[in-house]
Amino acid sequence: MPAKELSPIQIYQLLPGTNCKECGETNCMAFAAKLVNREATLQECTPLLDPKYTDNYNKLWALLKPAVKAVEVGLGDNAITLGGEYVLYRHEFTYVNPTAIAIDVSDEMPDEEFEARIKVADGFEYLYIGMKLTLDMVAIRSSSNDPAKFEAAVRKAAGLTEKPLVLCALDPSVMEQGLAAVGDRRPLIYAATKDNWKEMADLALMYNCPLVASAPFDLNALKSIAMTLSEYGVKDIVLDPGTQWEDGVAATLDNFTILRWNSINEEEEYLGFPLMGAPIAAWAEKAEDPLINEWNEAVLSAALITRYSDIIVVHSVSGWALLPLVFLRQNLYTDPRKPVSVEAGVSTYGEPDEMSPVLLTTNFALTFYTVASDIESAKLDCYLVVVDSEGMSVESAVAGRKVTAESIAEALEEYKVGDLVKHRHLVIPGRSARLSGEIQELTGWKISVGPMDSSGIAKYLEEKWVPNPED
Amino acid sequence: MTEKKKETFPISFHLLEALAKFQEIELEDVELTFDELELRLSPGMVMGAPPSIPKPVAVKVKSLSLIDAEVGIPIQDYPGSVVEVRLGATKAEGGTRGRSIVIGGETAPAFYNFQVTLPHKPVIAMDVFDWPKVPLPKAVKMHFREVLEQPAEWARLCVEKFDAEMINVHFLTIDPLIEDAPPSAAVKIVDEVLQAVDVPLAIGGCGDPQKDLDVFTAIAEATAGERLLFGSVTLDMKIEETARIIKEHGHTVIAFTSMDVNKARELNRKLYDFLPKEDIIMDTTTAALGYGLDYAFTVMERCRLAALKGDPELNHPISSGSTNAWAAREAWMKMGPEWSPRELRGPIWETVTAQTLLLAGVDYFMMMHPASVKAVRTMIDSLMSGKKPSETSDWVSLKL
């Protein structure tokens, strides 16, 4: 049953009902609610593991398992999970495993380029509200179709990175050589087509690796391959319905949506596998300036991240093109039940004293975490007054009158900010500059207009913060 | 090997997957049989979890040919649909525009071409500001440096050089905290812009509820019949008065709320007392990629799905101020060489912000950077075509 329709009662009825608390919950109903929210796993219910409950366990597993199978690529600490999704629209529950981004290298690339690309895949890192945004995988293509070259390239890549690998070759004899080199790292095999599926399936079984079924723009053939592979014994399958730029974008997104819809709403088992997108297809026609290809690929990647892709293969290694992608998938795979706002009040950073700066921001979660993360990474000692803006950013809150001189004055009063410091200096965000006069009038605090962006707080305080207690 | 279980697919695999959780089950002794295939599975494969050091396992198989399969195309009858709103008016329609534009009318989620193609193309309007000191990022400013002092020329540049389908004139000078310019000054600018371009026009206020109402009133009267789009009416404005002015002079309005489905309903409901539905577009707030885009996306997607399910208070075209993408520091900030140039990082930020919301159901975009406008328009055109590619490219063998 689609995850969005599942109720705790349905789960509760199949639990042992002993209220034994071994799972850490006060009773079975509370545990059922946790299971429905996927905040607990069946294994935590120890009585249920008794063989007499085997039937119930199986029924529960069938109710709770994700509609899209979770497929692991790589091993141990370096493994990544593709798929494992429950819903079509993120507000119905949450998206679970963020779209994996695989960086392309080929077996005909000069060493220098090859190594530079893997370095990006490996070392890409951007700090965002206290999180590290990174890339996930390396895809090695056999553009030569030469088994020896492919093996050498695969071996080289494996030596350069611990990230999970995707081996891309449509000729099974080429793939076999690649697997001989890195088959023990559980790479993702790309791909089984209607022509080579049997040889590829044999390789996938022999090396116990996940396998992509590929049938560009032919959904019937794709399902046919996936079904046949399943029957053949390949369990970990990824589906590639084809990706194309320009004229093919509409059909590309249609296919991804049809597949995900059918796996979630129709519970179609053979379509319930992770989906692979290949924005690298945007390079099929080389533009005069490769920047155009990079741009198009980024745009296509973003569309595929929005429309259900569980893994994408991209060629560009430019930071400006990759950065929006890691942001987008982080955003869309955030739990939507997370509140928009944080609690208003005063936050303390470092070890502020009575002469430390007092800053101000709004309680929109993203605004607050951004400011907090900037203050923390600069290791500042200060107070941050968080005013209630009904969860809006500074700019929107000021424009929409959710934050006014009056509400700021009230906040200073309510949170007793005057008791924390001896001085009366308040630094307000650059985007609320227009309120400075009014606030000063209402509160008697000396208002300084801070930077437009909180990344400038450290520099601003260093240059401008010279409070005089006599002021 | 003895046969312990004889199951037909698909049940057996799921069963095994479930059973694998029980240590009591002897997985070594499990064998699966099929009509055409006999195959021995290693324990590792049945468990689904990779062993720490996998060894190649010889697989003995008989021949099996591809099984025929068909994928059903999920067709859905949605009980609700989005109203159509016409923006701008030609001479025949009582205005002076070269053409008017209809948006909305959806009967399925955005770009579900397999269900139904969109009845109308989403529209991109380019932003023009009446205040030369408006803080614009460098990457944007470089395109408009010559026209910052002249809104009419700015609008002309957008239409003639960047093919803007509509123009949004944002009045900032009217803000009591900026210049407190009188409504008459705004009317004059609108008149100049109407002279300079013949595309439909939208009017943006400064956010002060009373001043916006005063300015909207003056502009609405002076341009009766033009079907301008006024942005925006909010819950803290005098809703009745605003709505009456829009209706009386033949215009349309953006109902703006802050990322809250219920507030969006509430505002629409209040407007229905005074305005026909066909005069209302809703804007549930656009936040930048990385700074709340997830909330913006989901609120819009929920509104649209609710409308299609028949919610009578949310079935309006959706507007997005995708220009807000530039509030993200990553869109404009100078960063290390690995993230440069920012002249590309900024426009791609605006593009991805807008495109993501396009897929949530946005009908009307307010945008700023010419490259972003072009990219989103290209995407809209590709998606509208709904074509199936004639031949597919093989990316594995690409020589890049």
Closest C-alpha among B386, B352, B384, B358 to residue B371: B352
Q: Is the pLDDT of residue B20 over 50?
A: no
Per-residue pLDDT of A117-147, as tens digits, reads 999 999 999 988 878 999 999 999 999 999 9
Residue A332 in contact with partner chain B when CB distance is under 8 A: yes
Report the gap between the CA of A313 and the closest CA in chain B (Å).
Answer: 10
Q: What is the pLDDT at residue B40?
A: 33
Check the CA dihedral A63-A66-A71-A72 and report its sign.
negative
List chain B residues with CB under 8 Å of A208: 42, 44-45, 50-51, 54, 57
Whether pLDDT at B15 is above 80: no
The ipTM assigned to this model is 0.88
**Does any CB of chain B come closer than 8 Å to the CB of residue A43?**
yes
With an 8 Å Cβ cutoff, is B98 touching chain A?
no
For the stretch A383-409, pLDDT in tens is 999 999 988 889 888 887 889 999 999
Interface probe with A: pick from B173, B233, B338, most Cβ of A within 10 Å: B338
Take residue B166 and report the two structure tokens written for it. 């509509």
Decide if B32 touches A, using CB distance below 8 A: yes
Helix-, strand-, coil-residue percentages of chain A, each rounded to 5:
50, 15, 35
Instruction: Quick: pLDDT tens for A318-366.
Output: 999 999 999 999 999 998 887 778 899 999 999 999 999 999 999 988 8
pLDDT band at B28 (very low <50, low <70, confident <90, very high): very low
* d(C-alpha B262, C-alpha B314), whole Å: 10
What pLDDT is stored for residue B39 in this prediction? 35
pLDDT at position A222 over 50: yes
DSSP label of A344 = -
Q: What domains lie within chain A, and their CATH numbers? A: 3-64 (1.10.15.40), 70-332 (3.20.20.20), 345-464 (3.40.50.11600)
Alpha carbon of A428: minimum distance to chain B alpha carbons (Å): 16
Interface test with A, best of B382, B383, B384, B394 (most A CBs within 10 A): B382
Could you read off the pLDDT of B338-361 as tens digits, one per residue? Answer: 999 999 999 999 999 999 999 999
Q: Which of A57, A78, A95, A249 to mutate to test the interface with B (most CBs of B within 10 A)?
A: A249
Single pTM value for the model: 0.87
Cis peptide before B232 (omega within 30 of 0): yes
Q: Given CB atoms, is A143 within the 8 Å cutoff of chain B?
A: yes
Amino acid B58: pLDDT: 55
A287-A293-A295 Cα angle (round to 5): 135
Containing H/E element for A128? Answer: strand A126-128
d(CA B217, CA B36): 78
* pLDDT exceeds 60 at position B45: no
Q: Which residues of A touch B177 (CB under 8 A)?
A: 434-435
Residue A425 DSSP class: E
Task: Determine the pLDDT at residue B374.
Answer: 96
Please check the confidence at residue A290 and state whether its pLDDT lies above 60: yes
* Residue percentage of chain A with pLDDT more than 70: 99
Residue A52 tokens read as 């007499």
Q: Is the pLDDT of residue B1 over 70?
A: no
**Chain centroid to CA A74:** 18
- Please name the residues in contact with A216: beta carbons below 8 A apart, sequence gap of 6 or more: A240, A241, A242, A243, A244, B392
- Partner B, chain A 2-41, Cβ-Cβ below 8 Å: none
Contact B382 A145 (CB under 8 A): no
First-to-last C-alpha distance (Å) of chain B: 51
Residues A50-92 pLDDT 10s: 999 999 999 999 899 999 999 999 999 999 999 999 999 999 9
pLDDT at res. B35: 35
pLDDT-derived band at A38 (thresholds 50, 70, 90) equals: confident
Tally C-beta pairs within 8 A across A and B: 323
Average pLDDT over residues B221-236: 96
pLDDT band at A1 (very low <50, low <70, confident <90, very high): low
Give chain B's domains with CATH numbers.
1-66 (no CATH), 84-385 (3.20.20.20)
pLDDT at B62 exceeding the cut of 60:
no
User: Average pLDDT, whole number, for chain B?
Assistant: 86
Residue of A nearest to B31 (CA): A233
Question: Would you call A284 and B393 a contact, using CB atoms and an 8 Å cutoff?
Answer: yes
